[in-house]
Every structure is written in structure tokens, then in C-alpha cells.
Amino acid sequence: MYKEFEGKTEQEAIDKAVKELSLEREDFDVEVISSQKKSLFRKGSVVIRVHVPDDEEAMPEETDSEELSIPGQVLEPQSEDERKIVAFVETLVEKMGYKAEVVINFRRDYKLGLDVRSDSSSIIIGRKGQNLNAIQLLANVYAGNIDKDYKIIVDSENYRMRHEEQIVRTAFKTAQIVRKTHKSRLLPPMNPFERRLIHTALNDFEGVETKSEGEGLYKQVRISPVK
């Protein structure tokens, strides 16, 4: 979701967003919508759009890898609600044109992990997990209509943990190059959760520092040598 704020300067608009949303500056992304310079006949103003992922948008990003690292585990549904959610995801994948078995591989309170098992897993996952995230989003919308406390994590072939590990490996490899060459490197655009992974992973990496650059929800992380 997003909200818009206006100020005489971009910084004033950001300060308003920080105060109203009760967030730290690094917790949201800013997109400048319009900017009018001050003139003799009008006051200067800047309108920004603040992107703050809501619960459903954040679900693909807030995955706990430790919960997903239980390959092969199958838990039986404990309630009619869980059976309905499993059946919904199975039907959804079927309507996509693929056969799959959906099983529960972890639960913690109202957090439910589903594993989609299929010979077409690579297609179900999609490029950079886009199809998997779409399935997860729809599963959360459906589960939310049953009980708003439900949080559904949909995975296949342990993709989410492997994806996070790949991001961290790339961050360390790039940091080593930056420290050796003393030249900064810019990583591909990433969502807020992926960027946090990099910032956290390199927080104690000597000789480099990280900073997000760009506008909108997807920004790039620049890894630079410490001056």
C-alpha cells in the first residue's frame, strides 16, 4: 500500500511521513510524485508517495527460513479451516493447468507453511518466485476471509530458503570484490526484505558499507569501500 505526503521540500514531506506512520526512515521507500519550484507567484512544494508493504504484500518477504528448512515433513490438517486452505491452493494450481499435491510442512499458531509438490515446480515457482508469490498472496486473501489472523507461507522445492541463501552468497562475493578493488558495486533491484538481508549480512563485514539507492519499492543496494 502507499500514502502521499506534501511538504515545501522533499525532506519536510518525509518528516511528515515518519511522524504520521510512526516508522523509521529506513522502513519505507519514497517516490517523488511532483515537485514545483518556488516562484514569485507560487510556493514551492513536493509531493511524495510512501510505499509501505501491508501484511499481504509483505508475506513473500517475511519468510522465516528456519521454519521452511524441514524437507519432506508432512503434517496432517488439524482443522476444517486448514483443510479448506490446502484444498484452495490445490485447486488454484490445478486451474493454472498443473497437477500438484499441497501438504502442510509447518505450523506455528496461525502461521501455516504449505509445500506445493509437483513435476512442474519450476513453472509454479516462476521467474524469481513471481508465480509462487502470487499463489501465496491469493492463499492469504482466502485464508484471511476465514480468519484474519492466518498467515500462509507457500513454498515449493524449498525455493524460499535457497533464494535467501543465494542473495547472501552474492552479497559476500560482491563485498570481497569491492574490498579488493576499492571500487563500489551496484546490485540488481530488490524488494525491501531482500535488501535487509544484504544490509544485515554485511553489517560486520570489514572494509565495506551498504546503502540503498533509487526510488519506488524496488531499489538497488550499493556496496562501497569504507573510506
The three cell numbers locating residue 35: 515537485
Could you tell me if 160 and 151 are in contact, meaning their C-beta atoms sit under 8 angstroms apart?
no
For the stretch 6-65, pLDDT in tens is 888 888 888 888 777 766 665 666 777 777 765 555 566 888 777 655 443 444 444 444
Give the per-residue pLDDT at 3.
Answer: 75
Q: Which residue has the cell 517475511?
A: 62
The terminus-to-terminus CA distance of the chain in angstroms comes to: 37
Of 219, 80, 104, nearest to 154 by C-alpha is 104
The total of other beta-carbon atoms located within 10 Å of residue 188's CB is 10
The answer for residues whose C-beta is within 8 angstroms of residue 107's C-beta and 6 or more apart is 75, 78, 82, 113
Q: What pLDDT is attached to residue 23? A: 66
- Tell me the average pLDDT of the chain: 83
Coil, strand, or helix at residue 123?
Answer: helix
Other Cβ atoms less than 10 A from the Cβ of 54: the count is 9
Torsion, Cα of 193, 195, 198, 203 (10° steps): -100
What are 91-105's pLDDT values in tens digits?
Answer: 999 999 999 999 999
pLDDT of residue 11: 84
Measured CA to CA, the distance from residue 118 to residue 219 in angstroms comes to: 33
pLDDT in tens, 162-184: 888 999 999 999 999 999 999 99
Residue pair 220/35 in contact (Cβ under 8 Å)? The answer is no
